[in-house]
Amino acid sequence: MKDIISIDGKNIFRIKDEVLARYLSSLEAAGYLIRGSKYKNYESGEFRDVLMIGRQVDFDRFFRGEKIQELFTLEPDVKRIVFREGELLVYFLKKNYEVLPIG
């Protein structure tokens, strides 16, 4: 099991899938930042829980509105956001997790 804090710091995404939890731990050990968030599908209007994975500088680029160069779909549940000098991965959660409020 692995706990991932949300981007806004209000929730914890508890990953129960042991294989995914170990993989996320190895990414953190390699210096990557992992945060939970919500993604809104603008076509359907539905929100989905996601994990965002990248370096701190790439999160900074994303949240200050740096232009996205390309958006790739790597797998049905993985998207890659590419900036001029960095990237973020967005992993759509499907099962074996829960979102808990902090405090």
Q: How high is the mean pLDDT in each 10-residue block of the chain (103 residues)?
A: 94 95 96 94 88 95 91 92 92 92 86
Note the pLDDT of residue 2.
Answer: 96
d(CA 92, CA 39) in angstroms, rounded, equals: 9
Q: Quick one: which H or E segment has residue 59? A: helix 56-63
Strands (E) across the chain are located at: 2-5, 11-15, 33-40, 47-54, 70-75, 78-83, 86-92, 97-101
Note the pLDDT of residue 34.
Answer: 97
In what side-by-side order are the strands of the sheet with 86-92? 33-40, 47-54, 86-92, 78-83, 70-75
Domains of the chain, residue spans: 2-101
Note the pLDDT of residue 95.
Answer: 87
- Which tens digits make up the pLDDT trace of 27-51? 999 999 999 999 888 888 899 999 9
- The structure's pTM equals 0.88
